[in-house]
Structure 1
Amino acid sequence: MSVRKSERLMNLLIMLLVQRHYVPKGRIRELLYPGSSDEAFEKMFERDKDELRALGVPIEIGQMDAYFDDDPGYRIRPDDLSLPDIDLTPDEASVIGLATRVWQHAKLAEATTDAVRKLSALGVPVDPGALDIVEPRLSADEPAFDVFWEAVQERRAVAFDYRTAQATETTTRHLQPWGVTRYAGRWYVVGLDTDRGEERVFRLSRVQGQARPEGPPAAYDVPAGTDVQALARRLAPDPVRLEATLLVRRGAGHTLRRGADHVEQDVVGPDERTRWDRVRLTRARLGLDDDILTHGDSVVVEAPAELREQVVDRLRRALAADGPVTDGPATGGDR
């Protein structure tokens, strides 16, 4: 799938999700398929709808006017897409997973919000709150993320300098990347190491300097049936797991709840603006603080003490960068 097509699919998903009413086909064409011929638009639009539906996105079709047989309109109901307890298969979750993984990434954030900006400029009422279904908003701060993500879409080889955890020197590696995935709080790229002729996994934060695409696009095929996440779990070091107890605001933290060992409802929380639940879970320690902090003041760490201190320390350092730290409730458990 090309980068342009990925952006168009995300924009179609977002456009149909934030619109309060059915979106007419003409407006979709105007905003997302500009300059296309009638035939090209119909083919691309039908393919894009089919791909989203195949991935579990429920696109609803309805008449723009109940009294006239006009062209149909399209929308996605947030309630149909954001069931908090649903277990999605990897294929069904891939579009939503793509949005969550790159939502705050500097390069793709502009592309994913393009449809919302265009709708707003036309004076169309939109509901940005519908985008809350893609929480938590994971960041991809590794400089190499762009290069590997685009190389995966284009099936293009990449050369990069890499240093393992045990090594003191870097080595140049050559990879045909099959996919980029997040595992145990870190980003990894999985693919064929052409120097060694074996499948390998590399942590993006250990890439030194600038990764470099090499060779033409469409230079290789990803082996049929490849499960990038399964490969990352098999090839990457086993993560250290941690038992954590969190206070989670009612209606928030769906991804934390989904993997919970136990949820105790209606407990005393740090404020009375909403109801709170106590969520106990067992997770990989690496990156758990990132996942907690993405939920803002909707998640508070009760235990263990070292996780609480880690989250509070990161908050204090962030506050110190903006000004003096004052006493009072703080996200992550400083209450």
Structure 2
Amino acid sequence: MSTARAERLVNLVLALLSTRQFLTAERIRGIVPGYADAATDEAFSRMFERDKNELRELGIPLETGRNSVFDSVDGYRIARRDYELGEVDLAPDEATAVALAARLWDSPELTGQAHGALVKLRAAGVEVDEHAAPIVEPRVHTEPTFGPLLAAVQRGQVVRFDYRRSDSPERRLRTLEPWGVVSWRARWYVVGHDRDRDAPRCFRLSRIIGDIRTVGRPGAVRRPPEVNLLEFVAGTSGGHDSAPAMTARLWLAAGRAAGIRRHGKVIGRMSVGDDEGDLVEVDLYFPESAADWVAGHGPDVLVLEPDVLAKSVRDRLERVALGDGR
């Protein structure tokens, strides 16, 4: 962002905070430094629209309204009660967790939002260490369609896309009322009402081909409150209703790796070096993605069997140690 635009946005926020009245765009143009540089009314309108969108993306609550029934156009203001941030008190480990969460996403859309959250925390006086170095830094990788689908879910808008089934190279056009995007077994899925089949369905993002097209107006889609997206994906993508592809034997550090423990069975105790832990058996329904899942727990997990899984996990950890997030 240019210095001139940043100064203009600061001046706009100060002006809208300092009044209880709604200020019209024309009034703002006359009192906020920077808008007078617009050569034409159209240029000012474009500039003002961009600035309003920028403030909303920064999380600044911009109100729109009129001061009386006699006003012919809308005005704008920022309610101080909504703008001011309440007291934020994070312990050192919580602040580190926030910083790590901001580094977690491998997605342009969510990376920007995460760093925006860090800016707001610092503005509130909370020290957040972005350079904390965990033993293993996890990364959440997303598909190119993740951002457009998530945006459609947030807008409540119908989408269309070409989809390829796992057992066929043929692509088919799908029209979906999206309810949400969830991750299951290291895969991303969009869940919603399939208009072509007139039934709830989930689609794996990696099998979506081409761009996501929106259909109709925002606000047309509402997620049924009784639907649990994760349970739906787990039940329709194989889950525990099908036979496991393999059973892995793992060592888990005592009291650690809760995510794996929920899916495994403790069959004994075992020590690795000076560290005590549990011997656990886990049924793997998706072996091709299990290595990412296991490696995400870092040194808290050691794969004993099978060898192919142990090697895959070791390769991933070595790449992380060398600085390659993938």
Select 1:268's aligned residue among 272, 281, 288.
272
Superposition deviation, residue 277 in structure 1: 2.0
Contact 2:178 2:192 in 1 (8 A): yes
CA distance in structure 1 between the aligned counterparts of 2:59 and 2:302, rounded to whole angstroms: 40
- Counterpart for residue 37 of structure 1: 79
Q: What amino acid maps onto 1:257 in structure 2?
A: R
Superposition deviation, residue 251 in structure 1: 6.6
Q: What amino acid maps onto 1:254 in structure 2?
A: A
CA distance in structure 1 between the aligned counterparts of 2:267 and 2:130, rounded to whole angstroms: 29
1:203 aligns with 2:207: no
1:112 aligns with 2:114: yes
Contact 1:149 1:180 in 2 (8 A): yes
Select 1:255's aligned residue among 244, 256, 259.
259
1:168 aligns with 2:182: no
Q: Say which is worse superposed, 108-117 or 236-245, in terms of deviation.
A: 236-245
SS at match of 1:158: strand
Q: Deviations over 1:141-194 (max 9, x none)?
A: 211111112211211111111110111221111100112122233211111111
CA distance in structure 1 between the aligned counterparts of 2:113 and 2:283, rounded to whole angstroms: 32
Q: What is the root-mean-square deviation in Å for CA atoms of aligned residues?
A: 4.1
Contact 1:163 1:207 in 2 (8 A): yes
SS at match of 2:140: coil
Superposition deviation, residue 119 in structure 1: 4.7
Higher relative contact order (CA 8 A, sep 6+): 1
Q: What amino acid maps onto 1:73 in structure 2?
A: E
CA distance in structure 1 between the aligned counterparts of 2:103 and 2:204, rounded to whole angstroms: 16
Q: Give me the identity figure in percent.
A: 31
5+ residue gaps in structure 2?
Answer: 1-57, 63-77
1:234 aligns with 2:248: no
SS at match of 1:244: strand
Q: What amino acid maps onto 2:272 in structure 1?
A: V
CA distance in structure 1 between the aligned counterparts of 2:195 and 2:91, rounded to whole angstroms: 45
Q: Say which is worse superposed, 208-217 or 303-312, in terms of deviation.
A: 303-312
SS at match of 1:107: helix
CA distance in structure 1 between the aligned counterparts of 2:206 and 2:219, rounded to whole angstroms: 26
Superposition deviation, residue 118 in structure 1: 5.2
- Counterpart for residue 9 of structure 1: none
Superposition deviation, residue 128 in structure 1: 5.7
Q: TM-score, normalised by structure 1?
A: 0.58
The count of aligned residue pairs is 242
CA distance in structure 1 between the aligned counterparts of 2:204 and 2:183, rounded to whole angstroms: 10
CA pair 279-129 structure 1, distance change in 2 beyond 3 A: farther
Contact 1:156 1:213 in 2 (8 A): yes
Higher Rg of the two aligned structures: 2
After TM superposition, the structure 1 = structure 2 runs for residues 1-335 of structure 1, keeping only pairs within 5 Å, are 33=60, 36-41=78-83, 73-75=87-89, 103-117=105-119, 119=121, 124-126=126-128, 137=138, 139-238=140-239, 241=244, 242-249=246-253, 252-262=256-266, 267-269=271-273, 275-286=275-286, 287-312=289-314, 318=319
Q: TM-score, normalised by structure 2?
A: 0.60
Superposition deviation, residue 304 in structure 1: 2.0
SS at match of 1:73: coil
CA distance in structure 2 between the aligned counterparts of 1:177 and 1:34, rounded to whole angstroms: 27
CA distance in structure 1 between the aligned counterparts of 2:126 and 2:103, rounded to whole angstroms: 28
Q: What amino acid maps onto 2:199 in structure 1?
A: E
SS at match of 2:219: coil
CA pair 268-230 structure 1, distance change in 2 beyond 3 A: closer
SS at match of 2:87: strand
CA pair 311-103 structure 1, distance change in 2 beyond 3 A: same
Contact 1:163 1:170 in 2 (8 A): yes
SS at match of 2:200: strand
CA pair 190-294 structure 1, distance change in 2 beyond 3 A: same
